[in-house]
A and B are shown apart, each in its own frame.
Chain A
Amino acid sequence: MLCMSLQAGEIPLGERRSGYEFMGRDTRAMQDDDSTNPALFWLMDGETLWKRKDGVAACSSCHETMKGVAARYPKVAGGRAVNLEQQINACRSERQKAAPLAYESRELLALTAYVARQSRGMPIEAGWNERTEAGRALFTRRQGQLNLACTQCHDDNWGKQLSGTTIPQAHPTGYPIYRLEWQDMGSLQRRLRNCMIGVRAEPYPYGSAELVDLELYLMWRARGMKLETPAVRP
Chain B
Amino acid sequence: MRFLLLILPFLFFGKALGDDAIPASLTGAKGDPQRGRAIVANRQVGLCLLCHSGPFPEERFQGNLAPDLRSAARLTEGELRLRLVDPARANPQTIMPAYYRTEGLTRVAPSLRGKSILTAEQIEDVVAYLVTLK
B108 contacts the other chain (CB 8 A): yes
Collect the chain A residues with CB atoms within 8 Å of residue B61's CB. 161, 163-164
A37 contacts the other chain (CB 8 A): no
A-B CB contacts (within 8 Å), total count: 75
Whether A1 contacts B104 in the complex (CB less than 8 A), given A146-B97, A161-B63, A162-B65, comes out as yes
B107 contacts the other chain (CB 8 A): yes
Cβ proximity bits A38-59 to B, threshold 8 Å, 1 near / 0 not: 0000000000000000000000
A87 contacts the other chain (CB 8 A): no
Collect the chain A residues with CB atoms within 8 Å of residue B60's CB. 164
A61 contacts the other chain (CB 8 A): no
Nearest CB of B to A146, in Å: 4
Collect the chain A residues with CB atoms within 8 Å of residue B47's CB. 146
Q: Is the interface of A mostly helix, strand, loop or mixed?
A: loop
Chain B: CB-nearest residue to A142: B106
Collect the chain A residues with CB atoms within 8 Å of residue B98's CB. 147
Complex: how many Å from CA A149 to CA B18? 28
A205 contacts the other chain (CB 8 A): no
* A197 interface neighbour in B49, B93, B109, B110, Cβ under 8 Å: B109
Chain B: CB-nearest residue to A164: B61
Cβ proximity bits B53-71 to A, threshold 8 Å, 1 near / 0 not: 0000000111111000000
B104 touches A143 (CB 8 A): no
Collect the chain B residues with CB atoms within 8 Å of residue A152's CB. 95
Nearest CB of B to A213, in Å: 15
Collect the chain B residues with CB atoms within 8 Å of residue A62's CB. none
Complex: how many Å from CA A147 to CA B62? 21
B88 contacts the other chain (CB 8 A): yes
Residues 30-78 of B contacting A (Cβ, < 8 Å): 43, 47, 49-51, 60-65
Nearest CB of A to B84, in Å: 14
Nearest CB of A to B82, in Å: 16
Question: Which bucket holds chain B's interface residue count?
Answer: 20 to 34
Nearest CB of A to B14, in Å: 14
Complex: how many Å from CA A159 to CA B105? 27
Nearest CB of A to B109, in Å: 5
Collect the chain A residues with CB atoms within 8 Å of residue B107's CB. 143-144, 196, 201-202
Whether A144 contacts B108 in the complex (CB less than 8 A), given A2-B88, A162-B50, comes out as yes
Complex: how many Å from CA A196 to CA B105? 14
* B105 interface neighbour in A1, A147, A161, A162, Cβ under 8 Å: A147
Binding site for A on B (CB under 8 A): 43, 47, 49-51, 60-65, 88, 93, 95, 97-98, 103-110, 112, 115, 117
27 examples of A-B residue contacts, CB within 8 angstroms: A3-B104, A3-B106, A142-B105, A142-B106, A143-B108, A144-B105, A144-B106, A144-B107, A144-B108, A144-B109, A145-B105, A145-B112, A145-B117, A146-B97, A147-B105, A147-B106, A148-B97, A153-B95, A161-B61, A162-B51, A163-B49, A163-B50, A164-B60, A164-B61, A200-B108, A200-B112, A201-B107
List 8 A-B pairs, minimum CB-CB distance, nearest first: A164-B61, A2-B104, A146-B97, A143-B106, A143-B107, A161-B64, A163-B61, A3-B106
